[in-house]
Amino acid sequence: MLNFIINAIGAVCVVMLVRRLVRAYLHNTQKNSQNSQADPIEIEDYLEKIKLITGYSVYDTFHKSAEGWHVSDDRIEQDFKRYLSSQSVPYYVKDFVRKSQKHIDEIYRGKGSNFADKRLLLFYLFLTVFLWGGAFFLSLYVIPHFVPLEVRSAFLIGPR
């Protein structure tokens, strides 16, 4: 019975591991296949990410994004007030975020793949190996020594 429970827990861990791998694979392939028009970016989220990464306010981001468009300071002030009142983002900020989207995401997530995902994958892998290895060890070496001799000889288990 104990062997069955340990095998069931190991099987659940394997299913969780495979599910996690499939989800990660699908997530990566979907992200690579989508283009920028199919998945509209959310400007407010990127403005928040820029604020967290650089420490600059959204107002400073408006000024920085207007540098390439030669927009006057009065216009920036008006656009920022409109943004605060109605969440309307001007064209130069949208362009700045669109051009910087890849870099913002890299810096915000960190370079390379997510380290927490790798750690979770290793945890499930070691848990599965530990449980199945433990079940194998228990079934071959430990449990037969607790079973009475009459039962062991009837079922031919353990050392003879």
Q: Of the residues 91, 112, 133, which one is the last residue of a structural domain?
A: 112
Same domain, 46 and 92: yes
Q: Of the residues 97, 112, 127, which one is the last residue of a structural domain?
A: 112
The three-class DSSP label of residue 36 is coil
Q: Which domain holds residue 105?
A: 41-112
Same domain, 155 and 107: no
Q: Of the residues 112, 131, 147, which one is the last residue of a structural domain?
A: 112
Instruction: Give the whole-angstrom CA distance, residue 74 versus residue 70.
Output: 12
Same domain, 47 and 96: yes
Residue 81: the pLDDT is 93
Instruction: Give the whole-angstrom CA distance, residue 138 versus residue 146.
Output: 11
Same domain, 74 and 47: yes
Which pLDDT tens digits describe the chain residue by residue (160 residues)? Answer: 777 888 888 888 788 888 888 888 787 777 655 544 434 568 888 888 889 888 889 999 999 999 888 889 999 999 999 999 988 899 999 999 989 888 888 888 765 455 566 777 888 888 888 877 777 776 766 666 676 777 667 766 555 5
Same domain, 105 and 118: no
Same domain, 94 and 48: yes
Same domain, 74 and 106: yes
Domain count, the chain: 2
Same domain, 54 and 101: yes
- What does pTM read for this prediction? 0.46
End-to-end CA distance of the chain: 23
Same domain, 73 and 96: yes
Query: Do residues 121 and 21 make contact, with C-beta atoms less than 8 angstroms apart?
Result: yes
Listed as own residue / partner, the contacts of 125-133 with beta carbons closer than 8 Å and 24 or more positions apart are 125/17, 127/13, 128/10, 128/13, 128/14, 128/17, 131/6, 131/9, 131/10, 131/13, 132/6, 132/7, 132/10
Same domain, 105 and 63: yes
